[in-house]
Amino acid sequence: MLYSQVAGQEEIKTSLIKSINNNQVSHCYLFEGPEGVGKFELALIFAQSLLCLNFNKEPCNECKSCIKINSYNHPDLHIINENGNSIKREDIDVLINSIYNKPYEANRKVYILKDAHLMTPRAANGFLKTLEEPPGDSVMILLTINSNLLLPTIVSRCQEVKFRNVSKETIKLYLKDNDSDCVELAVNYSKGILNKAINMINGNDDTLKKREEVIKIFDRIVNSDSETIYELENYFEDKKDNIDLIIEIMIMWIRDIMFVNNNMENLTINKDCIELLKTHGKKMKTDSDIIEFMQNISDNIKNNVNYKLAIDNMLLKIQEDFK
């Protein structure tokens, strides 16, 4: 593995490399950022860098330490909660028993705690005691989607590293060997999460499939009478767990309609559906406030407002503004 193989997060890479070269490695890091932004990948590369026998800006990938890490077989690399489950006190006890032992092969041991925010209260309190008197030959890397989900006393004892969403340009560059139309859609629907974009391209994420489904539903709504609303109730009930994504796709579609109506086709996300966007654009009221309305519907659903009523109101509003 190499830092150059991970897209984006350049400032973080530079900082981690500098800390090794200047012998200023902290005893505990907190990698915070959205799921799929590359926290685990960089944690692994940083661990490999710390254990590499010939590190120089990049792990050498040739020494026995690098070879073992690349096969997840290094005795001084410990990955806690690899499956993303709740971290119990028993798991932390295993870590504690290990952390005060000498390294087997390297000069230090590295511990990566995935989804550290899933520590139970007892586990968190046990882990905190380790942070208060950390052994000098160990480096711990905690991964979390939100540092506010961890005990403040744990966060205060870590060096925080905040991961940001990757820019569209960086994702495009990373996916440049794939079909350009598919890449464009994956970039726009990934919201800056590189792994999500990769999974869309590889068919391991069904967001683009859902997009096609939602566009067909939207077309049916605007081209049917009010009775269609009741026919679609079962669809929206079945898709209740995905309603956030469905509304988000609809809002992006409506946004594209507005761009097309204002001769700004270059700003559209759904560029493969320009003709349908134009058709819907001809039906849309010029003074429509539907995007704000849809966002309010989304908020209401999150706040546990009557789901069926919220959906019915949304569908009626779409029909009202596209007739």
Question: Average pLDDT in the 70-93 region?
Answer: 87
What the block records as the tokens of 273 is: 């559906």
Question: Average pLDDT in the 313-320 region?
Answer: 90
CB contact at 8 A, 295 and 251: yes
Is 139 contained in some domain?
Answer: yes
Residue 274 pLDDT grade (very low, low, confident, very high; cuts 50, 70, 90): very high
Helix axes 207-222, 194-202, angle to 10 degrees: 80
Is 185 contained in some domain?
Answer: no
Q: What is the pLDDT of residues 215-265, one digit of tens each?
A: 999 999 888 776 777 778 888 888 888 899 999 999 999 999 999 998 988
Q: Is residue 130 domain-shared with residue 276, that is, in the same domain?
A: no
pLDDT surpasses 80 at 158 = yes
Q: Is residue 104 domain-shared with residue 50, that is, in the same domain?
A: yes
pLDDT surpasses 90 at 45 = yes
Is 171 contained in some domain?
Answer: no
Give the residue numbers spanning the domain of 137: 3-164
Q: What is the pLDDT of residues 178-195, one digit of tens each?
A: 877 788 888 888 888 888
What is the rounded end-to-end Cα distance, in angstroms, of the chain?
56
pLDDT surpasses 80 at 101 = yes
Taken as a whole, the chain contains a residue count of 323
Q: Is residue 235 domain-shared with residue 160, that is, in the same domain?
A: no
Q: What is the pLDDT of residues 125-139, one digit of tens each?
A: 888 888 888 788 899
